[in-house]
Chains A and B, each alone.
Chain A
Amino acid sequence: MRLFRDSPTEEADVRPTLLGVVTLLFLLLFFLLSTSSGQRLGVIDLRLAAPGQAPPLPHSGVLKAVRLAVGPQAVAIEFEVSTTDISASAESRELRRIEVPAREGRLDAVALAAALDTIHAIDPSQLAAEVHPDDEVTTATLLDVLDAVRGPTAAPLFPKVSLR
């Protein structure tokens, strides 16, 4: 003999609960759309060199300095690398230059990022770079260059950018 009788149980109706969730989500959506804007802002902290300020001390690694001359037609990247030749002295450096020309009148951000990636691979401990924009360079181009120099947030290239 069974102690408990099997009584037929009805399945609980989940539809009112789900409808409640949907209503709540609708209200949240409405609230978000009415209180926010589709334009999100991003901020870049600037390091400005004061007039007459001496350049920073050279980096101790292989990549001594990275400078970008930003013009309306091209970005010229100049970087100093310690000469690793056996006959070279500790002070001897080699100045290398990569020029990234504009593409269809606009900065070629992909080529610039690739060039900076290559330079960063020489000495990943170098985190500083100097940007020297030309007088006629627009803010849009300048921000593109700063973004490329800083690199993605997950894998930064030269996050210590100074404008000169």
Chain B
Amino acid sequence: MKRSLFRRRAEPAGVGLDVGALAPMVDMMVLLLVFLLRTYSTDLAPAPEEGPFELAGTTADADRRGGVELLVSSEGVHVNGHRVAAWEYIEGEGVIEPLYATLLQVRPKVRAEVHADASVPWKRLQRVLQTAEAAGVEEIALVGVWRGGM
């Protein structure tokens, strides 16, 4: 006759799946969902294909409204994902010619959103903004990483 090493205990039905244990789990899941919905975004930040790029932080919580995407990195300027100018070869003051020529061809260009690297100096950023204005962009917005609280 076979004898089992461990004695089987008669367990009441449903042990380990108590309602009292499930309710806090549901609460936690709801809290996690609310946190994710509040802090996560489906709007991914653009970045250049190469080189370092880090957006500066901001407490502004307004959402993006689209428009021409201007990316200003420490190496150059990109329009809608295409590099149009490199700082190394940009000379002089005022309007940046290659950027101006590209922006003139972009349609529609009512609004532009500028994603500038945190380390880019105002001297360069100002030239990009002035060029966008000169090319006929009516609204310009600066984009940063939201660092507000819940």
Query: Using a CB-CB cutoff of 8 Å, which residues 94-144 of chain B contact chain A?
Result: 113, 116-123, 125-126, 129-130, 133, 139-144
Closest to B13 in A: A13
Contact partner of A136 (CB less than 8 A), chosen from B37, B39, B121, B133, is B121
Given contacts A18-B22, A22-B22, contact A133 B122 (CB under 8 A): yes
Cα of A44 to Cα of B115 in the assembled complex, Å: 11
Residues in A with CB closer than 8 Å to B1 are none
Contact partner of B41 (CB less than 8 A), chosen from A14, A39, A143, A163, is A39
| Chain B 64-88: CB-based contact to A (< 8 A → 1; otherwise 0) | 1100000010000000000000000
The smallest C-beta distance from B41 to any residue of chain A, in angstroms, reads: 4
Count, chain A residues at interface, CB 8 A: 44
Query: Using a CB-CB cutoff of 8 Å, which residues 76-123 of chain A contact chain B?
Result: none
Taking a contact as CB atoms under 8 Å apart, the answer to whether B62 and A45 are in contact is yes
Residues in A with CB closer than 8 Å to B144 are 41-42, 44, 143
The smallest C-beta distance from A127 to any residue of chain B, in angstroms, reads: 16
Closest to B142 in A: A44
B42 within 8 A of A: yes
Query: How many contacts between A and B, using CB within 8 angstroms?
Result: 158
Cα of A70 to Cα of B120 in the assembled complex, Å: 15
Main secondary structure, interface of A, reads mixed
Contact partner of B118 (CB less than 8 A), chosen from A37, A40, A139, A147, is A139
Residues in B with CB closer than 8 Å to A19 are 17, 22
Cα of A91 to Cα of B29 in the assembled complex, Å: 63
Cα of A46 to Cα of B133 in the assembled complex, Å: 11
B23 within 8 A of A: yes
A150 within 8 A of B: yes
Taking a contact as CB atoms under 8 Å apart, the answer to whether B40 and A36 are in contact is yes
Contact partner of A143 (CB less than 8 A), chosen from B23, B58, B113, is B58
Taking a contact as CB atoms under 8 Å apart, the answer to whether B65 and A48 are in contact is no
Residues in B with CB closer than 8 Å to A29 are 29, 32-33, 36
The smallest C-beta distance from A153 to any residue of chain B, in angstroms, reads: 6
Residues in A with CB closer than 8 Å to B122 are 133-139, 142
B90 within 8 A of A: no
The smallest C-beta distance from A95 to any residue of chain B, in angstroms, reads: 25
Taking a contact as CB atoms under 8 Å apart, the answer to whether B148 and A42 are in contact is yes
The smallest C-beta distance from B143 to any residue of chain A, in angstroms, reads: 5
Taking a contact as CB atoms under 8 Å apart, the answer to whether B118 and A140 are in contact is yes
A155 within 8 A of B: no
